[in-house]
Every structure is written in structure tokens, then in C-alpha cells.
Chain A
Amino acid sequence: MECALDAQSLISISLRKIHSSRTQRGGIKLHKNLLVSYVLRNARQLYLSERYAELYRRQQQQQQQQQQPPHHQHLAYAAPGMPASAADFGPLQLGGGGDAEAREPVARHQLHQLHQLHQLHLQQQLHQHQHPAPRGCAVTAAGAPAGGAGALSELPGCAALQPPHGAPHRGQPLESLQPGPAPLPLPLPPPAPAALCLRDPRASAACSAPSAPPGATPPAAAASPPASPAPASSPGFYRGAYPAPLDFGVHCSSQTTVLDLDTHVVTTVENGYLHQDCCASAHCPCCGQGAPGPGLASTTGCKRKYYPGQEEEDEDEEDPGDLGAEPPGGAPFAPCKRARFEDFCPDSSPDASNISNLISIFGSGFSGLVSRQPDSSEQPPPLNGQLCAKQALASLGAWTRAIVAF
């Protein structure tokens, strides 16, 4: 009955469930997929926070080695309610060659990107759930007393394990928000309602404003600045602030296309990747090699009316490939199969169509996660699975509602 409660396995289990739900009788079950996406989000937050902590810890260690005898900081991520095993995760898989992160400037850069990603994700949640303050939960020393708080003050904010629910009436304490240390610029939060479209701020204007979520909380709440002063409560406090919208590393992006079955409106949204993951591969377009970054050509806008007469084969959500799931003109992402729909032969294995559908929906090649043998010619094997998971993780923010492929 035991199962590994670690983030990565949960993520792969969840993705497998989503994948298999597409072939189940009766069609996609919206409710179940929504719940699975919540688990995905929770696992992702934990995974990223661990990683962030790990990176920071290494950075700290290097700094301290230069200055003084190493001061051991036991940074076990302990979140309330998590079983003890959750805090003792195995060595984090840091992609792209483990030792690279040990080098300080790279580590700091990754930290920065990771942090930005987190800010963005929290931002999305913030607007989505209309919660006035982020629920930061800085990495805490396991069982840290006040003495740990001193060490904590050095840490920039990191993952919130507790995904924000509707705010105060759920009884969660509000976390304080304090201006961050140097590496992180003080930003302004992007304008409210266009939550999940906001990877690319230019696309945000084109996105339609969402209707009020059930419960009819006034939209004004979404626009309230996140820096609401509130007493810091015990699990930690949130330092740092949102990066300015233009700082987002939208170089490596892809698109998710969603077909709304009711209105036949096609929505194309941007996903973002961790920059370091992209650049781990020599083929990353944004690093100046190969074709120009797909993200730059990405302002195809959000909503597009779909005319049923046009492309018959795109009527059902299984085949959005032609509608922009593939970044226009971009070279396929080498590390994982960035499937161009056309690349998949109709007569290939029955698996391929499912996976290509799924890839085009999630905008990332996670064929590494599904038990499909990667083509060794195209992908460096050690990176494949990891990178796919990372891409999936990174792009989770935009397709957290994986059930959009309805």
C-alpha cells in the first residue's frame, strides 16, 4: 500500500492519468481531470521549491566557504500536513549536467529564473483565485525555531507549497510581503484579470478577461496589489516581489491551443520554460543558434474564431496541431520531441497519435514520461525524460487546467 510520495512520481502518475483519460470510454471527464491538475500543481510547487532550495543551498555553501567555515543550514522543506517522508527527498535532479549548477554565476542565474517562474506562477494563482496576498512559505529549516528565522531572512521567497485557495475565509494566514534583495527587481504586477494568458505580457491584452469565477467575487479584488501588509505568520514569510513583466524569459515558449466545444472558439496561450532547461540543449533557438525563438513570433493573440467550415479535421480537440500548437517557424526542440503535427505519420503506431495529440495539447514533448522509446538519434537520452518533465513542469502554469483539451 505504500507509494512514493515524491513530487516527481506524483507528476508522472498524474500525467499518465490525464493521458489515459483521453482514451477512456465516455470522453474526458472534466471533474476528474480538474482534480488531477490540482495534484499536478501541488506536486509541481513542491518540486520547484525543493529545487530552488537546493540551488540556493549550493549557492550559500559556496559563499560561505569563501567567507567562513561552512555553516550548515539544514533546509528540509517541511510543509504542514505533509508526511515526514516528503521532507526527505532524494537528491534533486538538476538537469543539464549536474555540476554546472555548482558554478556560482550559473547557479545564481538559474535561481533567478526559477524565482521568476515562481513569481509568475504565484501571480497567476493570485489573479486566478483573487487572493490579495501570495502565500509565500519560505524554505524553513526543519523544525526551525526563532534561530532559523535569522537564516531565513537571507532567503528570497520561494515556492508556496500551499496553493492559494479562496482567501481569508478559508482561514489561511496572510503572509507578509517585503521588498526583496538586490537580484530581484521590484516589479508591478501585471494588470489583473487575464490570468493564465500572461506568460507573454503582449498577449495579455489580446486575451479576453475572464468572467467572474463562481462565487462572484468582485473582479476588483484581483487587481489589488499583492503587497498587502499582513502579520508574518510562523511558516515563513515571503520575500521578494514580482519581476517586471518584461523580465520574463519568454524566449523559450510554446503554445497551447484550446478548442472550446461550446463556442468553437480557439484560444492559443503561451507557455514558458525554464530558460536554463532550454539552453541546456545546443539547439535552443533562443540562445542564438538555430531559428529565432518561437516566443518572439508568438503574439498570435489569444482568441480566434473557429469556422466550422474551415478545417474539418480540426473540429475535434485531438488535432489542434495545425492551429498553432507548434510555434510557427521554430525549429523543433531537440531535447524532447517537439512534435510538429505533420511530423507524425498517420500510419505510425497507434500510440503516436495519442502522444502527438497530447504533445500538441501540452505544448511539450513529454514522450519521455510516457513509455515510449525516444529516438536516440534526435535526443540525448539522459536529458530526454528529465527535460520533458521539466518542460511539463515549467509550462504547468499555463495549462494547469489540463482538461482544457476538451
Chain B
Amino acid sequence: MAGAGGGGCPAGGNDFQWCFSQVKGAIDEDVAEADIISTVEFNYSGDLLATGDKGGRVVIFQREQENKSRPHSRGEYNVYSTFQSHEPEFDYLKSLEIEEKINKIRWLPQQNAAHFLLSTNDKTIKLWKISERDKRAEGYNLKDEDGRLRDPFRITALRVPILKPMDLMVEASPRRIFANAHTYHINSISVNSDHETYLSADDLRINLWHLEITDRSFNIVDIKPANMEELTEVITAAEFHPHQCNVFVYSSSKGTIRLCDMRSSALCDRHSKFFEEPEDPSSRSFFSEIISSISDVKFSHSGRYMMTRDYLSVKVWDLNMESRPVETHQVHEYLRSKLCSLYENDCIFDKFECCWNGSDSAIMTGSYNNFFRMFDRNTRRDVTLEASRENSKPRASLKPRKVCTGGKRKKDEISVDSLDFNKKILHTAWHPVENIIAVAATNNLYIFQDKIN
């Protein structure tokens, strides 16, 4: 099992040599709450990178084509489209304000020239179509070039409008709005491999939707107890299997994962598989329940494994073995003795995400102080890197960081007490094919590439 802290970053073999590529976002110290990035997602080809923020906006970056005339901008991501996905709402019946923060974005596989994505806030999921327009019709009969209607009596001749090129315009339009299906806060959406359905999960229920149908959804999991006082766990994340369209998993706040098969029954309250690692009784504390709560679950691309993230560790599970994970990687074990302070400042409730690389040989997750951690499953090596403006020279290699857990602090190490817990990396994404990673640090999006790449 990989140890805590950071290891070296030796070159060669399967190890990565991460270099800074780009950073997006404002530089000022004063970060507006609305600009905080709340989700990051590559599309299936990796050419598009979408981010959602707390202000309800979605920004899509597109990778530039490799261009011999501009060799330095190899594969750079530039803004492609920006639109307001969700607005703040007010539920008058329950006197609740509904935040516009984008909780998740999931891309649909591309089927034509347009791109489709699902974005969700706490209550409503929207299907957006992002399409390009680079031609414009000119020469209308009934209206002028500027759009004013012409007086029909003045028209003396007919002409056929012709298409003329125009500056590329990217339009985003909401095609479907899936609303009013969730009483509790939506935490996950996941597109099925059949490309027709998707699931949305809130704290207590999971619904199955068809992409074409907005007025109906099927409830497939419901863990709400008859008496809410008996509530002991909530759903924290859910995902469809990447290849088997009948299988999905959902994780709970108790640190368990349930795999369900939709073929077995309409209501998947009974799981097909139940993944739980026995708790180590010697590590019990006041906060055991909190740190065992799973914040993210992701299937590997192969579909054979899945990964879960709890507060202090990342675990890789083999779907064929329910009794314990096959790998456990400590992300920041040095925080275990600080749990009380982290409880006081609410950091213990932070929900970190995790992601696989394209070949499932490495996994990545975030930490505090703008650190993020990468674990190589083959070599069992891990590294801690930092997303910071200081290391932002073009193509500068990232230096591994190390947290000093006690005793003498070596040079270049940082002590646990100096960590900045306001700088947290909750959202990361790995390009589906290449070694390009996107790391969201509060309001900035960092893009790093592997030098070998």
C-alpha cells in the first residue's frame, strides 16, 4: 500500500513528469464566491473540458488543434463557450432557497456535430446543446440585413438567400429540463452506457431518466426510512457501470458501496453486491463516522474496478470482491490527529473527488494547500504536487511536495500546521486518453501535461 506523504518523482518507466501548461481564472486574492469552481469534466474525446461554478455558470474549453505554425500552443485549451446554466431559485412551499451552484456536469457521447452535456444543481438537471454556427444566411426577401421587416409592397424581385461564412459562434441552448424529481439535494448524475438513460441521485433516492422524457422518471433506489428519526445513512454518490447498462453503484455516508442490477427488480433497494471494509476498532474516534463517509465513487474505464474516496484515503475495489478493497492509498494521513480542528472549521465535511487515468494505471485526488496526490497503481509510487501560481511558468516541471509530519522539518518540506485549509482541491479530471490533467483550485483551473506526452 502506498504510504502517506509524497515520494520522489523519478523519471523513466511509467512515471509521469508533470509540467505546467495553463491556468484559467482571475489572479486576485479576493475570490468571489460565485467564481469558485464546483465541477470539472472532460468529454469523451478529451477535446472539450467543462467547468461549473458556484454562480451557476458553465465554461467550456476546447483544445486547440496542433498547429505547426504555433508550436508552443500544442494542445492548449481555450474558452469555447460560456453560459449561465442555472439560476438561483426559491421554493416557496418549503421556504428554501435553491442554490445555483453546479454540482455535476456529465457529457453525453457525441453523436453529431453538436455536443450535449447534462448539468445539475441541487434540484434540477438540464440537458444543454452546444453547437457551432459558422455560416449565416444572407439575402432574405422579407427582411433587411439588419432584421427589419421589409414592406411587402416594396419588394419587386425575388432572390434566393445564400450562406456566407461568419465568425464562429458557439451557442448553448437548453434542450431538456428535468425538474421536480428530487426532494433532497442532488449529488450525482451519471449517463448510462446505452446513451439513452441516465441516473440522478440525491441524499435518499436515485431516479432513472430517459434523455428524451422530462416529465417522468423512475425511482430505482429509495433508502428513506418510514420514520426520519431512524435515518442512519445517506447516498453520497452514484454511477453507472461503463459497459453494463444494467449495473450501477451507489456509495453511502457509512462508507459502504452497493452495486445494483436493474434487471433483478424495478426497485433496486436490495443490492446485488455490498462492499464494505471492516472498521479498524483501534482507530475509533468521535469523528469515525465522518471520515468514513464516501465522497466520490468512480468506475475504472475497464469496468473491472471502482474507486472510492473518503476523507483520508482512496480505495480501489475489485467488483468481484466485496469484503475489502484491493488497494488503499492514504491521501493525507497526517490529518488524522487534527480531526477535531478540521471539524471545528468544517473542513472535515469537504467532499473530495477522485479520478482514473485513461489506462487505469494511475489515480488522482486532491488535498489541502492546493496539493493534489497521484498514485501509480503499478509501481506503487505516489507523489504530491501543488497547483500554484508560483509554479506557473510555461512547461515548468512540477516539483514533488512533501508534508512533514513531525520532528525536524527538512528544507522544502511544509509542516502540517502551515497548510492552508482554505486552498482545497476538491475537483480534478484526467483526460480520457492522454496524460493531461485539469485541477480546480478554488477559482482557478490548472492544466498540467506530461512532458513525455
Find chain A residues with CB under 8 A from B78 CB: none
Find chain A residues with CB under 8 A from B96 CB: 26-27
Q: Given that A35-B293, A169-B278 are contacting pairs, would A3 and B229 also be in contact in the complex, using a CB cutoff of 8 Å? A: no
Q: Given that A35-B253, A35-B290, A39-B290 are contacting pairs, would A26 and B99 also be in contact in the complex, using a CB cutoff of 8 Å? A: yes
Is B239 an interface residue, CB under 8 A from the partner? no
Mask, B374-401, CB within 8 Å of A = 1, is: 0000000000000000000000000000
Q: How far is the CA of A215 from the CA of B256 in the complex (A)?
A: 10
Is A172 an interface residue, CB under 8 A from the partner? yes
Q: How far is the CA of A406 from the CA of B228 in the complex (A)?
A: 9
Mask, B251-274, CB within 8 Å of A = 1, is: 011101010000000000111001
Of B339-347, B365-373, B438-446, the segment with at least 4 beta carbons within 8 Å of chain A is B339-347
Determine which of B227, B252, B337 lies in contact with A214 in the assembled complex, contact meaning CB atoms within 8 Å.
B252
Choose among B229, B230, B276, B280 the residue with the greatest number of A CB atoms under 10 Å from its CB. Answer: B229
Is B27 an interface residue, CB under 8 A from the partner? no
Within 8 A of A (CB), among B280-319: 280-290, 293
Nearest B-chain residue to A404, judged by Cβ: B228
Find chain B residues with CB under 8 A from A39 CB: 286-287, 289-290, 343
| A170–B230 CB distance below 8 A | no
Q: How far is the CA of A215 from the CA of B271 in the complex (A)?
A: 7
Q: Is the interface of A mostly helix, strand, loop or mixed?
A: loop
Of A88-96, A180-188, A205-213, A348-356, the segment with at least 4 beta carbons within 8 Å of chain B is A205-213
| B279–A170 CB distance below 8 A | yes
| B236–A170 CB distance below 8 A | no
**How many chain-A residues does the 8 Å CB contact rule pick out?**
67
Find chain A residues with CB under 8 A from B271 CB: 215-216
Find chain A residues with CB under 8 A from B279 CB: 165, 170-172
Q: Given that A129-B232, A170-B279, A262-B224 are contacting pairs, would A30 and B97 also be in contact in the complex, using a CB cutoff of 8 Å? A: no
Determine which of B231, B258, B287, B338 lies in contact with A34 in the assembled complex, contact meaning CB atoms within 8 Å.
B231
| A43–B286 CB distance below 8 A | yes
Q: How far is the CA of A290 from the CA of B150 in the complex (A)?
A: 88
| B341–A128 CB distance below 8 A | no
Find chain B residues with CB under 8 A from A260 CB: 228
Of A59-67, A79-87, A378-386, the segment with at least 4 beta carbons within 8 Å of chain B is A79-87
Give the distance to chain B from A120, nearest Cβ to Cβ, in Å: 15
Choose among B93, B288, B341, B417 the residue with the greatest number of A CB atoms under 10 Å from its CB. Answer: B288
Is A104 an interface residue, CB under 8 A from the partner? no
Q: How far is the CA of A214 from the CA of B293 in the complex (A)?
A: 15
| B204–A318 CB distance below 8 A | no
| B281–A403 CB distance below 8 A | no
Q: Given that A3-B340, A81-B281, A196-B230 are contacting pairs, would A34 and B253 also be in contact in the complex, using a CB cutoff of 8 Å? A: yes
Given contacts A128-B232, A258-B229, A260-B228, 11 further A-B contacts (CB under 8 A): A3-B341, A4-B340, A30-B234, A80-B284, A129-B232, A196-B227, A197-B229, A213-B233, A399-B229, A400-B229, A403-B228
Q: What residues make up the interface of A, taking CB atoms closer than 8 Å to B?
A: 1-5, 10, 13, 17, 25-27, 29-32, 34-35, 38-39, 42-43, 46, 79-83, 128-129, 161-163, 165-166, 169-173, 195-197, 207-211, 213-216, 258, 260-262, 267, 269, 315-316, 318, 398-401, 403-404, 406
Q: What residues make up the interface of B, taking CB atoms closer than 8 Å to A?
A: 93-99, 101, 122, 183-185, 187, 203-204, 223-234, 236, 252-254, 256, 258, 269-271, 274, 276, 278-290, 293, 337-338, 340-341, 343-344, 346, 349, 416-417
